[in-house]
Amino acid sequence: MPLRSEAWYGGQDRNSYIHRAWMRRGAPNDAFAGRPQVAIANTASDLTPCNSHLNEVADSVRQGVWDAGGVPLNLPVVSLGETNVRPTAMLWRNMAAMATEEMLRANPIDGVVLLGGCDKTIPSLLMAAASVDLPAVVVPGGPMLTGTFRGTPLGCGTDVWRLSEEVRAGTLSAEAFLESEASMIRSRGHCNTMGTASTMGLLAEALGTTLPGTSGTPAADSRLLARAHETGRLVVDMIAAERRPSEVLTAGSFRNAIVALAALGGSTNAVVHLLAIAGRLGVPLSLDDFDRIGADVPLLVDLQPAGRFLMEDLHRAGGLHAVLGQVVDLLDQDAITVTGRPLASHLGDAPIWDPEVIHTRGAPLRPDAGIAVLRGNLAPNGAIIKPAAASAHLLTHRGRAVVFDSVEDLHARVDDPDLDVDADSVLVLRGCGPRGYPGMPEVANLPLPRKLLRAGVRDMVRVCDGRMSGTAYGTVVLHVAPEAAAGGPLAKVRTGDRITLDVPGRSLTVDLPDAELAAREPAPAMTEALARPRRGWEQLYVNTVTGADTGADLDFLVGASGHAVARESH
């Protein structure tokens, strides 16, 4: 089978001359026809600080590609820095995926190495690779090393929430809070808790899309560069074998990712990302699969935000392979990786070097750790909760709704001493779904009212159609679908209604007769949010984004479109 790039470089005519001549720039004569052209889709950016080291990783990939007879090509792609991009990086995930997909298809490329790290970067790269279906392999950029403050390890994100709540509760001074800021980010790399970046890096491996044994390697660890070098060699082999995402990313590999997500206690954001990646391939994955496959998987990893340790500890303790080695019987035994061999065959003995960090199957942190999918008259299309991050006493709860129509409304009223709220109330935040915000921000772990914090309350039931940071925790019901701005019943809830959360029974309901709920009008703020004038990407996004329950992709990007070579323009 001729290489795809030969459609550009393989002829002796004027057009092939043009394609080769402009690309020579010192490349040897034999760098074109017959040699695999490998794009390095690189999300390095100074504005994505978690990925700013990826140029060095790319250099190692380049060496590996040359070693194996390929030609490496740097391809800077849209990068999303979680802490900087407004209104929320999630608004741009699909744009990054679309732009990367189009550039891979438009150029003389035979395969691609995907360099990501910060939350949305690996999902967008995998969505793109799935759609264009060229041989593709991920190098996760890796977590940062553990920073400490006053002798205590700091978890990125998680400890920001904890420390800021302590300031609000009056138990930490504002000066000490600011002092901790300089200690939080110790090295290159992404957040070091089991947040979204760590989760998606590890799940990229569980899906089979990394060189086995790579994910979770700290960004500052020189072994990451060695793995990047080997990955450069591997992608050349993958091109020869025509090993494409459609062969690697099967229903079995998504099963493996869901098992890993549960055993790791990974971020809830993985749900919406895995659904979107599966959608690009036509793999039938539904919200309920997360509950069905993951519910009985034990929680084995004691990492923040739910636990104690950080990513450097997980790597030291044996990493993903040690975790998966404990649940190997739950994995799909046939799902292959980018090596062409099944994931399960790569696990070997996979010893646990620190049982405090990685627990054995016989002594798990929790016997069941997956994502629980809730349904009911408040979430006809589903909602999710991560029981491992919730308070056990709140998993079954009935309380009076206190409703906020926007993040701004929340901030204006939540600390009002006169707000009619108590520890049993259910805080509802709506207008935060994909269409309503727009972009589905990580705001669902809404702060508790200051007067309750001061009274010692540390968790309450919260319900939202948005997402929650993977570094956050609490009894938070997320991704309520349909979202309020898209006509979901959440738009009709009023302060004072009774809401019942029943995680064991998998339900989320408002105690109203069907007829009364149907007859109510949605809150005006929900329809007003959609009517706001927009342009450009935001307009396209709001008009075409799907619900969280199907991955919040754009409806016209669902499904693979392949790597056909477009017509010549010269």
CA distances in angstroms from 63 to 226, 261, 295, 417, listed in the order given: 10, 33, 43, 62
Nearer to ligand FES by C-beta: 49 or 135?
A: 49
Shortest distance (Å) from residue 201 CB to ligand FES: 9
Q: How far is the CB of 205 from ligand FES (least distance, A)?
A: 17
User: What three-state secondary structure class fits 196?
Assistant: helix
63, 74, 83, 391: residue in contact with ligand FES (rule CB under 6 A):
83
Give start and end residues of each alpha helix (H) in 249-392: 251-264, 269-281, 287-294, 311-316, 319-326
DSSP state of 147: E
Contact 119, 127 (CB under 8 A): no
Distance in Å, CB of 349 to ligand FES, minimum: 31
Maximum CA pair distance of the chain?
80
How far from the centroid of its chain's Cα atoms is residue 53's Cα? 20
Cβ(256)–Cβ(289) below 8 Å: no
By DSSP bridging, strand 111-116 and strand 461-464 are: unpaired
| Smallest distance, ligand FES to C-beta of residue 312, A | 15
For residues 125 and 551, is the Cβ–Cβ distance under 8 A?
A: no
Nearer to ligand FES, 153 or 157 (CB): 157
144 binds ligand FES (CB under 6 A): no
Residue 48 Cβ vs ligand FES, minimum distance, rounded to whole Å? 7
CB of 347 to ligand FES, least distance (A): 26
User: Minimum CB separation from ligand FES for residue 191, in Å?
Assistant: 3
> Based on CB atoms, which residue is closest to ligand FES, 16 or 121?
121
- State which residue, 195 or 441, has the beta carbon closest to ligand FES: 195
- DSSP assignment of 249-278, as one string? S-HHHHHHHHHHHHHHT--THHHHHHHHHH
Rounded to a whole number of angstroms, the minimum distance from the CB of residue 161 to ligand FES is: 13
The two tokens of residue 115 are 């360099």
* Options 6, 101, 119, 332; binder of ligand FES; rule CB under 6 A: 119
**List 197, 235, 350, 477, residue binding ligand FES (CB under 6 A):** 197
497 interacts with ligand FES by CB under 6 A:
no
Choice between 117 and 488, CB closer to ligand FES: 117
DSSP 77: -
Supply angle C-alpha 53, 56, 57, rounded to 5: 90
Structure tokens at 168: 């609000």
CB of 259 to ligand FES, least distance (A): 23
Residue 191 vs 235, nearer CB to ligand FES: 191
476-515 burial string, b = 16+ CB within 10 Å, else e? bbbbbbbbbbbebbbbbbeeebebbbebeebbbbbebeee
- Angle (CA) 197-203-208 rounded to 5° is 135
Least gap, CB of 268 to ligand FES (angstroms)? 15
191 scored as a contact of ligand FES (CB under 6 A): yes
Q: Which one among 31, 39, 50, 207 touches ligand FES, defined by CB under 6 A? A: 50
Residue 312 contacts ligand FES per CB under 6 A: no
Structure letter (DSSP) for residue 303 = B
The window from 68-76, 191-199, 247-255, 375-383 that contacts ligand FES (CB under 6 A) reads 191-199
Question: Comparing C-alpha atoms, which of 19, 35, 100 is closest to residue 67?
Answer: 35
Q: How many residues bind ligand FES (CB under 6 A)?
A: 11
Site of tokens 């060189």: 211
Tell me the three state secondary structure of residue 516: helix
The pattern of x and - marking residues 150 through 179 that bind ligand FES according to CB under 6 A reads ------xx----------------------
Between CA 533 and CA 221 the distance in angstroms is 48
User: Least separation, in Å, of the C-beta of 146 and ligand FES?
Assistant: 14
Coil/strand/helix, residue 536: helix
Question: Measured between alpha carbons, how far is 242 from 97 in angstroms, rounded to an integer?
Answer: 22
Nearest approach, Cβ of residue 140 and ligand FES (Å): 11
Work out which of 6, 82, 133, 237 binds ligand FES, going by CB under 6 A: 82
At residue 37, φ and ψ (nearest 5 deg) are -100, 115
Cis peptide before 482, with omega less than 30 degrees from 0?
yes
The stretch among 180-188, 190-198, 444-452, 532-540 that binds ligand FES (CB under 6 A) is: 190-198
Residue 118 found at the interface with ligand FES (CB under 6 A)? yes
Q: Rule CB under 6 A: choose which of 19, 62, 120, 190 binds ligand FES.
A: 190
Stretch that binds ligand FES, among 2-10, 94-102, 188-196, 514-522 (CB under 6 A): 188-196
By CB under 6 A, name the binding residues for ligand FES. 50, 82-83, 118-119, 156-157, 190-191, 195, 197
